[in-house]
């Protein structure tokens, strides 16, 4: 039986205008944990009326928050970071209980979330505005202003950290906002109101509306007074958001699905590649957008690599999320678990199952799957083409660099790619040729917060991270000033 965190709320309410409130119509929905799949709390079920309340609160707070100096906003972000870290143990317990994420992996979320706030506090203080001089005749400078009320829609995997990833740059830029957390995992978001209150964030600057995506999320996208939407989630939902946003010509950033290749050449450091690939596809229960879920291996190394990968997968410790020994916990929700299991059955018809594919024998209940490896996967197989978002990996051989590039690019996704080779010239060639927004050479998924994050093709639109996030949450106005006499052609001056 999983450990139930202390202080677990029985009701998760909206946070609008600095107050905890129920849904306007009083509706709620059940929130369940992924080990027992039984409800442990009720969450307010937001509607268009709740989004409208939040939009009005955010608009009312906009002048005060945007009017602060960058340094004053940064000081508030530092206080938020301190408040997040002070709740480290509670946050980890909530995240593990609500998502099924192993406790050892959840423990880093508070640190990463706090770092997001500290980083963007530093960015906004150090950020200068561009200026241009045209000889002695004219001077031009750029003035940044907040876009206004930002709509943030976040996913259910590592929810608290990914919420901070959007909250921090939006607040740093001077935007007020409405956050719509994922309905499957709203528990850790219930910590934000006390964090923001403790940090002295003005009432209404941050508003949180819980609810179902098709209701609260759609209302947020449709609201005419929310000019910007940042979304992380599935490609299908991203397409719907972009279509809806066109009505009001909203600015959007979409970080969507992935089916990222991990390419292993015969000269690679085999142990390092194995460590990275096993961790990259099975950590976070395989529920990560940048997972290297298509492993492409040079043929001369292929048999050995498949054997070693299957062996490692079989030894991954699957267990209760609250157990520190657990490496893969319970998948987030019964609907998602059923979806992943369906892909496993599809894979059994398409390829050779060499590890996993079943529930672990010692776990009779809960959304558990033994890490699963399919070999000899063809490029047209569904498990090669479609995002599974679970502890499932597809492995295929290649004969040369050209074929490896062709296979790497042979999906509609393009979020990340991983290349393992000791030939750095080949590593760079491959990195330039692969169709993805991010590439790691001889490295696992280590990200610098200063770098752009995002994908190409069906993996998204736009970039966030570093100064790219500030660009997204602000409007740039160019102001031109004459420095000397203006010599303009005098149309119509002569009669």
pLDDT digit string, tens, across residues 211-227 = 999 999 999 999 999 99
Q: How far is CA 251 from CA 55, 180, 222, 243, 408, in A?
A: 16, 17, 13, 12, 31
Place 109 in a pLDDT band, splitting at 50, 70 and 90.
confident
Q: What's the average model confidence in pLDDT over 50-56?
A: 98
Active-site residue among 175, 183, 287, 289?
A: 289
Place 108 in a pLDDT band, splitting at 50, 70 and 90.
confident
Place 330 in a pLDDT band, splitting at 50, 70 and 90.
very high
Q: Does residue 197 surpass a pLDDT of 70? A: yes
The three-state secondary structure class of 477 is strand
Q: 385-388: which pairs have CB atoms within 8 A and are 24 or more residues apart?
A: 385/259, 385/411, 385/412, 386/259, 386/343, 387/234, 387/235, 387/257, 387/258, 387/259, 387/293, 387/413, 388/286, 388/293, 388/340, 388/343
Q: State the average pLDDT for the chain.
A: 96
Can you give the pTM of this predicted structure?
A: 0.95
Question: Phi/psi of residue 460, each to 5°?
Answer: 145, 175
For 286-328, how does the pLDDT look when each residue is reduced to its tens digit (9 = 90+)? 999 999 999 999 999 999 999 999 999 999 999 999 999 999 9
* Residue 129: predicted pLDDT: 86
175 catalytic per annotation: no
* Residue 1: predicted pLDDT: 67
Strand partners, 44: 28
335 catalytic per annotation: no
Q: Does residue 61 surpass a pLDDT of 80? A: yes
pLDDT > 70: percent of the chain: 100
Active-site residue among 95, 255, 327, 464?
A: 255
Rounded to the nearest 5 degrees, what angle is found at the Cα of 104, between the Cα atoms of 103 and 110?
Answer: 80
Q: Does residue 495 surpass a pLDDT of 70? A: no
* Residue 484: predicted pLDDT: 87
């Amino acid at each position: 039986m999983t450990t139930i965190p202390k202080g677990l709320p029985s009701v998760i309410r909206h946070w609008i205008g600095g107050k905890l409130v129920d849904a306007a119509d009083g509706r709620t929905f059940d929130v369940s944990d992924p080990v027992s799949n039984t409800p442990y709390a009720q969450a307010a079920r937001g509607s268009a009326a709740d989004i409208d309340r939040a939009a009005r609160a955010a608009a009312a707070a906009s002048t005060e928050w945007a009017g602060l100096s960058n340094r004053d906003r940064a000081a508030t972000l530092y206080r938020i970071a301190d408040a997040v870290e002070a709740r480290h143990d509670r946050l980890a317990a909530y995240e593990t209980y609500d998502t099924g994420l192993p406790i050892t992996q959840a423990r880093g979320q508070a640190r990463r979330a706090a770092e997001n706030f500290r980083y963007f506090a530093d960015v906004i203080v150090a950020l200068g505005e561009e200026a241009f001089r045209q000889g002695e005749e004219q001077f031009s400078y750029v003035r940044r202003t907040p876009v206004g009320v930002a709509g943030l829609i976040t996913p259910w995997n590592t929810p608290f950290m990914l919420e901070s990833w959007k909250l921090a740059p939006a607040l740093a830029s001077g935007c007020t906002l409405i956050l719509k957390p994922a309905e499957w995992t709203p528990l850790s978001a219930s910590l934000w109101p006390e964090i923001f209150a403790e940090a002295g964030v003005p009432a209404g600057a941050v508003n949180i509306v819980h609810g179902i995506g098709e209701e609260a999320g759609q209302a947020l996208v449709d609201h005419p007074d929310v000019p910007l939407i940042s979304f992380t989630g599935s490609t299908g939902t991203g397409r719907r958001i972009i279509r809806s946003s066109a009505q009001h010509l909203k600015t959007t950033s979409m970080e969507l699905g992935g089916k990222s290749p991990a390419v292993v050449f015969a000269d690679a450091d085999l142990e390092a590649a194995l460590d990275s690939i096993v961790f990259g596809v099975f950590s976070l229960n395989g529920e990560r957008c940048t997972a290297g879920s298509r492993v492409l291996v040079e043929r001369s190394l292929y048999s050995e690599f498949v054997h070693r990968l299957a062996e490692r997968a079989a030894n991954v410790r699957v267990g209760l999320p609250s157990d520190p020994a657990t490496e893969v916990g319970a998948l987030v929700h019964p609907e998602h678990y059923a979806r992943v299991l369906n892909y496993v059955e599809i894979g059994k018809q398409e390829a050779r199952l060499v590890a996993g594919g079943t529930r672990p024998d010692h776990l009779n209940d809960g959304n558990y799957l033994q890490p699963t490896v399919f070999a000899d996967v063809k490029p047209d197989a569904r498990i090669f083409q479609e995002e599974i978002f679970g502890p499932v990996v597809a492995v295929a051989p290649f004969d040369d660099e050209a074929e490896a590039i062709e296979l790497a690019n042979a999906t509609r996704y393009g979020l990340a790619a991983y290349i393992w080779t000791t030939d750095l010239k080949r590593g760079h060639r491959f990195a330039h040729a692969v169709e993805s927004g991010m590439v790691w050479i001889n490295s696992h998924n280590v990200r610098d917060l200063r770098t752009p994050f995002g994908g190409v093709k069906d993996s998204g639109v736009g970039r966030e991270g570093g100064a790219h996030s500030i660009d997204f949450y602000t409007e740039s106005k160019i102001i031109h000033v004459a420095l000397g006499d203006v010599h303009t052609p005098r149309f119509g001056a002569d009669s």
